[in-house]
Amino acid sequence: MTITHYLILSLLLFSIGVAGVLLRRNTIIVLMSLELIFNSVNISLAAFSYFLQSLNGTVFVIFNITVAAAEVAIGLAIVVSVYRSRKTVNVEELDEMRY
């Protein structure tokens, strides 16, 4: 397989993730689509790491996975905290900063 196959797969997953972030109303599904975007970038990085025979991409993937896990933890904590005060997770109803 050439690198183009992996890059096209990464592009398709990225655009499906972007569609999910833009189109869904539920904040948790938006966060899941964000995880899709992270994974598409990880595929692209690992593909470059293999085809250019270096380890920079692989180490970057490790850091990317770690940072994504931390971000999901904080994001879900924020969502739960917002749900407690506003009783909704609909992105179209969460349109004011002040409660």
Partner 1 sequence: MEQIFFYIFAAVAIISALCVVTLRNPVHSAFSLIICLVQVAAIFILLRSPFLAVVQVFIYVGAVMVLFLFAVMVLDMGKETIREHMHSQTIPAVGIVVLLLALIGWLISRGGITAPLGPFDEAALAKNTEVIGKTLFTEYIFPFEVVSLLLLIALIGAVVLVMKERPKSRLQGPQA
By CB under 8 A, name the binding residues for partner 1.
1, 3-9, 11-20, 22-26, 28-29, 31-33, 35-36, 39, 42-43, 46-47, 49-50, 52-56, 58-59, 61-63, 65-74, 76-81, 83, 89-92
- Can you tell me the distance from the alpha carbon of 97 to that of 29, in angstroms, rounded to the nearest whole number? 21
Rounded CA gap, 1 and 50, in Å?
11
Residue 16 Cβ vs partner 1, minimum distance, rounded to whole Å: 4
Coil, helix or strand for 1?
Answer: coil
Q: Which is nearer to partner 1, 7 or 98 (CB)?
A: 7
